[in-house]
Amino acid sequence: MSQRRRIHFEISERKIFLRIFDIFWVLTTLYFTGLFFHLDYFTINADFWVWTLMLTLYLTLFSSVFELYDLQKASRYETVLKNVFLASSVTVLVYLLTPILTPVLPNNRMQILYFYLAVVFALLVWRFAYIRFISSPRFYKRVLVIGDAFDMDKIADQLLRADPNYSVVSYLNTGSEQNREIKSRKGISHYHSESITNIIRRHKIDEILINELDPENDSADLSEEIFVLLKRGFPVRDFNQVYEEKTHRIPVQMINRNFYEFFRFSRSNDNKFYQIFHRTADIIISVIGLVIGFILVPFIFLGNLVANRGSLFYKQERVGRNGEVFEIIKFRTMELNAEPNGAQWTTKNDSRVTRFGKFLRRSRLDEIPQFYNILKGEMSFIGPRPERPFFVKELSEAIPFYDTRHFIKPGLTGWAQVMTDYADSHADSLEKLQYDLYYIKYRNIFIDITILTKTLSTIIFFRGQ
């Protein structure tokens, strides 16, 4: 138990770490570029502090939009290379086009090239160094999970996807399975009866997660051993809490017995300031969206006339707040009479979606008419996506607490939409529900801004479904 504790950066720490050093290395590189290449366009000093502030804001914003702070993508060379060029290009372009807050364009256009190359060079060198030295096994946290039987392979994969440096390496099953050790397909060692201290030494464990233990099978020796570890200062944490922190979703399928004791609604749901802010933002955004929609309607109408023949709009019943049914409005993306045998799931690469409809979906242009629903107050810009009554009834019977997502208004975009793919099965709907409940539990202005940023990324990278 005297093993040396490995250094591990949590998700929030790494994201702050990346942001700080993105700014630091870009400004440092620009400073030395100014010294050696006489870069007069951008100067770092007290007289022109606004220039530095604006560059910092633009760099942080567009690095977020182009997913430089997505830890999975930030750990891959090819993805970082692409995203650094995109983020740098847009940052520099917007910086050049706002001369009221930024320097006036120089007469010598080579200055702009030096400025751009300095930003790209700084980000690429720093981010490649991060992948090589920081996002490496030396900073992994090796984890032991203790609890009743569940799909440990799937859970471990979800945790690893959320945090690439968080690795479940062993699992002590306190359920009633036969006494045996199993090697899972994910390389996780499974135990049923084994000393926790031995597992820690064997697998060099850094942290223990405890799920709800089965009181009928939980032994006094196990509880005593956990208590001894706590007294020694060994990290022992609640599984559900860590799962939420890492994946940003509620493990609803694991907490059936005490769900409402565990699930606390966000204070923002009763916060008048937040509600007024949310509704005001909805009205402003919906008006802007409808104006953009009116501008685009002639072009969408022509595309619909050629490659999507039939009505331009369609209406469909959806379930809103408190289970109230309303009619959603969208640009039609499927062929006429797409459901001759009643409601059915929309699947990936659905053959019913027309060629032009596929473009509308991937660009999210098909959602523009829903700004009218937002303006009427039937929807919000951010919230769980509204589902059809037929599927709500079906999913409510199959998935525990599914109706809880109707506690707030449905949204045009939402936490589940930006965190996972299109749902075309009960399993996918369960995953989306976990994200929706996380939003309902923790919703606040900062999460709303994060969703807005991720929605922009979805549109830019053409990931609509």
Nearest-angstrom CA–CA distance, 14 and 75: 12
pLDDT of residue 145: 92
Which tokens is 374 given? Answer: 């937002």
Amino acid code (one letter) for 15: K
- Under CATH, which number does the domain 140-247 receive? 3.40.50
If 0-12 CB within 10 Å is exposed, 13-18 middle and 19+ buried, where does residue 20 land? exposed
Between CA 51 and CA 60, with CA 56 as vertex, the angle to 5 degrees is 150
pTM confidence score: 0.82
Q: What is the pLDDT of residue 179?
A: 41
Q: pLDDT, tens digit, for every residue of 158-187?
A: 888 888 888 899 998 887 654 444 555 567
Residue 180: the pLDDT is 45
- pLDDT tens for the chain, 465 residues: list them: 545 556 667 777 888 999 999 999 999 999 999 888 888 888 888 888 999 999 999 999 999 999 999 988 898 999 999 999 999 999 999 999 998 889 988 888 889 999 999 999 999 999 999 998 887 767 788 999 998 766 788 888 888 888 888 889 999 888 765 444 455 556 788 888 788 999 999 998 999 999 876 655 556 678 888 889 998 889 999 888 899 889 999 887 666 656 666 666 667 777 888 889 999 999 999 999 999 999 999 999 999 888 888 889 989 999 999 999 999 999 998 887 777 666 777 767 777 888 888 888 888 899 999 999 999 999 999 999 999 999 999 998 888 788 888 989 999 999 999 988 777 677 888 889 999 999 998 898 999 999 999 998 888 877 666
3-state helix, strand, coil in the chain (%, to 5): 55, 10, 35
d(Cα 119, Cα 87) in Å, to the nearest integer? Answer: 10
Q: What is the pLDDT of residue 382?
A: 95
Q: Rounded to an integer, what is the distance from CA 135 to the centroid of its chain? A: 19
Burial class (CB in 10 A: 0-12, 13-18, 19+), 257: exposed
Which residues does 408 contact at the CB level (< 8 Å), separation at least 6? 269, 321, 380, 383, 384, 440, 443
DSSP string, 380-446: EEESSPP--HHHHHHHHHHSTTGGGGGGS--EEE-HHHHHS----SHHHHHHHHHHHHHHHHH--HH
Strands 325-331 and 313-319, bridge-based pairing: antiparallel
What own/partner pairs with CB < 8 Å and gap ≥ 24 does 345-351 have?
345/391, 345/424, 345/425, 346/422, 346/424, 347/424, 348/421, 348/422, 348/424, 348/465
**What are the extents of the domains in the chain?**
11-134, 140-247, 267-460
Q: What angle do CA 409, 412, 417 make, to 5 degrees?
A: 100
**Torsion sign, CA atoms 82, 88, 91, 95:** negative
Q: Tell which phi-psi region holds residue 214, choosing left (phi > 0), alpha (psi between -120 and 50) or beta.
A: beta
**Most distant pair of Cα atoms in the chain: their distance:** 79
Cα 296 to Cα 252, 331, 366, 411, distances in angstroms: 41, 12, 11, 22
Two structure tokens written together for 283: 């009205």
SS3 label, residue 296: helix
Residue 141 CA to residue 6 CA, distance in Å, equals: 7
Phi-psi region of 462 (alpha: psi -120 to 50; beta: other; left: phi over 0): left
Concatenated DSSP letters for 11-55?
HHHHHHHHHHHHHHHHHHHHHHHHHHH---SS--SGGGHHHHHHH
List all residues 6 or more positions away from 286 whose beta carbon is below 8 Å from its beta carbon: 371, 372, 374, 375, 381
pLDDT value, residue 178: 47
Q: Looking at residue 164, what is its pLDDT?
A: 84
**Rounded Cα gap, residues 444 and 271, in angstroms:** 10
- Give me the pLDDT at residue 207, please: 93
Q: What is the pLDDT of residue 416?
A: 92
Do the Cβ atoms of 333 and 308 come closer than 8 Å? yes
Residue 199 and residue 185: Cα distance in Å, rounded?
19
The CA distance from 298 to 294, in Å, is 8
Q: What is the pLDDT of residue 427?
A: 81
Q: Within a 10 A sphere around the Cβ of 309, how many other Cβ atoms?
A: 11
pLDDT of residue 19: 95
Bridge partners for 172 per DSSP: 146, 191
Contacts of residue 181, Cβ cutoff 8 Å, sequence gap at least 6: 189, 190, 191, 192, 194
Locate tokens 């409809």: which residue?
A: 357
Strand, helix or coil at 135?
coil
